[in-house]
Amino acid sequence: MNNDDEDYETRLARIELLVESNAKAIAANSAGIAENRQSIAATNQSINDLAEAAGRTLAGIERLRDIVDDNRADYEDYKIRNDATIASINAAVERLDAILNQLLRNRGDNS
């Protein structure tokens, strides 16, 4: 073997080492890419789950808002009826007071 053959063999050995090193790096990168894909898929699923939960929460809030609106309307109806009842009771008390005063005057006139 001469020096040219040794240089060729040395270069060939270096190239083989570089190819092996690159192959290992590519394999490691491929494994990392696969892990990242799994992580991205899990993150996407979490985002979808959160979006569904947010949708359910918003639907629940809408139902509660409807209930509050219904309760508010029912309260307003109750308040109107209650105010009318109070006014009617006050009018009845005034009439009873007037009747009592009239009876007391009549009693005084008859004494």
Per-residue pLDDT tens over the stretch 54-108: 999 999 999 999 999 999 999 999 999 999 999 999 999 999 999 999 999 998 8
CB under 8 Å, gap of 24 or more: what pairs does 88-95 form? none
- Does this model's pTM top 0.75? My answer is no
Measure the CA–CA gap between 86 and 51, rounded to whole angstroms.
51
The percent of residues above 90 in pLDDT, for the chain, comes to 86
* Rounded Cα–Cα distance for residues 9 and 11 (Å): 5
Mean pLDDT within 6-17: 92
The helix (run of H) or strand (run of E) holding residue 89 is helix 3-110
CA distance 9 to 33: 35
